[in-house]
Structure 1
């Protein structure tokens, strides 16, 4: 890879650009304990819930724990919990700002492809003053089929108007990796969690943090 071939980078959000998984865990965990007497550790969250949509996690709860719940109920409970929490407390992952600045200076186009909603993007990336780095945002509202379906990345590729060989995706979970790869994109995997490293063992590029990304494509 070189700057002459890579013209755009599509970033995932949660766990890739922002260190949000503990935030989500700390909001889901009390709900699971209170409503269903399910106790999970942060390691359980990373292994079983992180990187998945609400619909998939509700299905997982039904199948694994045999509880009666639905998407609407869990949506209302989790969103109420998020509203009582401070999403601006979510920190950036290491090296995010310097990587975005480096790509921008080199004329690489940058966009976001996430299963989170636009309100989350605006709140967290807005707080860190990063919104202007992104050409566009593919959020949950914009697709019918979220990750691991390829639809989010196919839409992003269409909006970029570039050949797929000129685009790379950056993801931290097998869910996102599957979405990007199924859309025909090279996907760089970036994670520090051993569970995800094992799931992403077949990735062509697997790094612990984003600092390796500019060296790879620039």
Structure 2
């Protein structure tokens, strides 16, 4: 894939190690308000990679839990603020792969279902915002991943053919969105739950260090 001119990164679980942060904040909310106990594997299996709206719908569908988007938004945002999103670490080799891609002249952008405030807080804390040409965040699209709209918008913004752009994702939600937009996708995950659902990716890698061998 040396011909690739641009790389579109997912954020959560791909560049930042945020899934346990989200899990640790959702877990007490679900337990205290709805008497629902989940473990980290449950989080990865049922919630990771999805929007809050979808997860609220899933709670009702799977467990009959009646709540609202507004309630869960308020509860989770308050929990995130108390926990401080700046404590979220980068995934291994995240900064290094961004530096290598930038030095090689490849264009870089971010396509995420998180909001711009999350991007600014976490990537800003780690000093990585300057690597990205633009950010496609939740508020910029009507239909988030797994709908292809975020990636379609990114392709339009790049003004490049889809075959010269690659997406890097860690969940089947993101993979479906990338493929739906006509992009090849490099899947990066060590989570067995996710790896089992990422078999359609063009490459399945353990970490971001291995991305270098494919793109550079």
Partner of 1:57: 55
Matched ranges for 1:40-55 at <5 A: 40-55=38-53
Provide the residue aligned with 1:109 in structure 2: 107
Partner Cα separation in structure 2 for residue 93 and residue 174 of structure 1:
18
Among 48, 65, 88, the residue aligned to 1:90? 88
Counterpart mapping for 1:24-39 below 5 A: 24-39=22-37
Task: Tell me the distance in 1 between the aligned counterparts of 2:177 and 2:159.
Answer: 19
| Map of 1:152 onto structure 2 | 150
SS at structure 1 position matched to 2:196: helix
For residues 1-218 of structure 1, what are the structure 2 equivalents within 5 Å?
1-2=1-2, 5-218=3-216
How far residue 212 of structure 1 moved from its aligned partner, in angstroms, is: 1.0
1:70 CA drift (Å): 1.4
TM-score (norm 2): 0.99
Quote how far apart the aligned CAs of 1:38 are.
0.2
Q: Distance in 1 between matches of 2:131 and 2:163?
A: 22
| Alpha-carbon displacement from aligned partner over 1:129-187 (angstroms, at most 9, x marks no partner) | 00000000000010000000000000000000000110000000000000000000001
Q: CA deviation at 1:65?
A: 0.8
Contact kept in structure 1, 2:189 and 2:206, CA below 8 Å: yes
Structure 1 residue 202: Cα displacement: 2.2
Asked if the contact 2:21/2:88 (under 8 Å) is kept, the reply is yes
Distance in 1 (alpha carbons) for counterparts of 2:201 and 2:186: 7
Q: TM-score scaled to structure 1, two decimals?
A: 0.98
Runs of 4+ in 1 over 2 A off after TM superposition: none
Output the aligned Cα RMSD: 0.6
Q: Give the SS at the match of 1:187.
A: strand
Question: What is the rounded CA distance, in whole Å, between the counterparts of 1:22 and 1:195 in structure 2?
Answer: 14
